Amino acid sequence: MFDVQKVRADFPILKQEVNGKPLVYFDNGATSQTPQQVIDTIVDYYSRYNANIHRGVHTLSQLATDAYEIARTKIQYHFNAKHSYEIILTSGTTESINLVANGFASILQKGDEIIVSALEHHSNIVPWQMLCEHTGAVLKVIPMSMEGELLMEAYDALLSNKTKLVFCNHISNALGTINPIESIIKKAHEVGAAVLIDGAQACPHLKPDVQALNVDFYVASAHKMCGPTGVGMLYGKEEWLRKLPPYKGGGEMIATVSFEKTTYADLPHKFEAGTPNICGGIAFGAAVDYMNHIGFDAIAKQEQELLEYGTQKLQEIEGVTIYGPSDLTKKASVISFNVEGIHPYDIGTIIDKLGIAVRTGHHCAQPIMDFFKIPGTIRASFAFYNTKEEIDIFVEAVKKAKTMLS
């Protein structure tokens, strides 16, 4: 049985007060909180076996190397990658996307086409724009509806034998929309295009199976999954990872170096130049363990109940507009909304004084806000450790802010 109070006890930060009020943390879309089990892993590393990896014969180096590679294997199993070396440990989703974009700079030619969705985070737009500027490739966009869903008939029309790469997020960070990535991947493959899926917002809520999806690249960040900041992963099919050139030069990614020629290390080290975030990688593995211990079925059930309850309560407030799919089975646990006549920043500032953390602004998704002709939204994003009682506090705070600002 899922016991939310028992789960909350794992998160030290949730016990504190902010501005004299109990913390209500509804900014999980930006970063999740970290359980004591993961914090203990970080402390254990720095207290007991802090050393560089893959390079030393001494005991601490071997302990650190083993722990780091065990974490890679945990991540492999979690995402069901075929091989552990298909998991490249990076600084996060943004670096993972840039790694792939950099690799395609040597593959794309002028006139080739790449497709992005209208629901993307800036980190899944800007690197591809830079790639187009460098190669002469053409960027095309899958449009969205007023419901915040992709127009799949338009996607079908965009695909052609010129399409070389398609990329979209699994779940929108700004609206919570769950995109039909299975269909997106299948249709792209039918025209010979590769597919990258940004899973940053999906991985806290569900458990992707990269082999079942048949996706070419899938990226994620640990800090969205109860892990530390500054670490994430790129899954890539072996055939693609062998085809792409190294992203950075330096130590660890080499096989041999001379002033005449350098040869590169095998996967995954080919893409992991320099000393990595060793502790972060190990803690990423611990975070994966923690979330699997909670169970993704339990996580999904709890978060869906919060989404339904929060949506109902906010809709009772006059003047509230919620953006994104009205069918809540097509959304993750995000409510992105505005109050008529009030700037989202003003609401966010007032409810912060009441101890409530939400995100306000464009959420690094300016094209979405431009589509709706709004400056931004108030985004409440829930995690499995949140409660309906917290939603009640949040809704009352929004009502109070509305009264003050009207």
In angstroms, how far is the first alpha carbon of the chain from the final one? 44
Q: Which residues of 373-397 are buried (b: 16+ CB within 10 A; e: fewer)?
A: ebebbbbbbbbbbbbeebbebbbeb
Tell me the pLDDT band of 30, cut-offs 50, 70 and 90.
Answer: very high
Q: Tokens for 394, please give them.
A: 């949040």
Q: Tokens for 153, please give them.
A: 């008939």
Q: What is the 3-state secondary structure (H, E, C) of the chain?
A: CCCHHHHHCCCHHHHCEECCEECEECECCCCCCCCHHHHHHHHHHHHHCCCCCCCCCCHHHHHHHHHHHHHHHHHHHHHCCCCHHHEEEECCHHHHHHHHHHHHCCCCCCCCEEEEECCCCHHHCHHHHHHHHHHCCEEEEECECCCCCECHHHHHHHCCCCEEEEEEECECCCCCEECCHHHHHHHHHHCCCEEEEECCCCCCCCCCCHHHHCCCEEEEEHHHCCCCCCCEEEEECHHHHHHCCCCCCCCCCEEEECCCCEEECCCCHHHCCCCCCHHHHHHHHHHHHHHHHHCHHHHHHHHHHHHHHHHHHHHCCCCEEEECCCCHHHECCEEEEEECCCCHHHHHHHHHHCCEECEEECCCCHHHHHHHCCCCEEEEECCCCCCHHHHHHHHHHHHHHHHHHC
Q: Report the greatest alpha carbon distance in the chain.
A: 72
Tell me the pLDDT band of 33, cut-offs 50, 70 and 90.
Answer: very high
Q: How far apart are CA 338 and CA 320, in angstroms?
A: 6
What residue type is assigned to position 185 of the chain? I
pLDDT in tens, 1-11: 899 999 999 99
Segment 29-42 mean pLDDT: 98
Contacts of 164 (CB under 8 A, 6+ apart): 104, 107, 108, 112, 113, 114, 137, 192, 193, 194
Q: Radius of gyration of the chain from Cα atoms?
A: 22
Q: How far apart are CA 210 and CA 384, in angstroms?
A: 23
Strand partners, 25: 357
Task: Using the predicted structure, report yes or no on whether residue 36 has a pLDDT greater than 80.
Answer: yes
**pLDDT on residue 252:** 76
pLDDT in tens, 134-177: 999 999 999 999 999 999 999 999 999 999 999 999 999 999 99
pLDDT in tens, 335-394: 999 999 999 999 999 999 999 999 998 898 899 999 999 999 999 999 999 999 999 999
- Supply the residues annotated as catalytic: 364
Residue carrying the six token digits 């989202």: 344
Tell me the pLDDT band of 316, cut-offs 50, 70 and 90.
Answer: very high
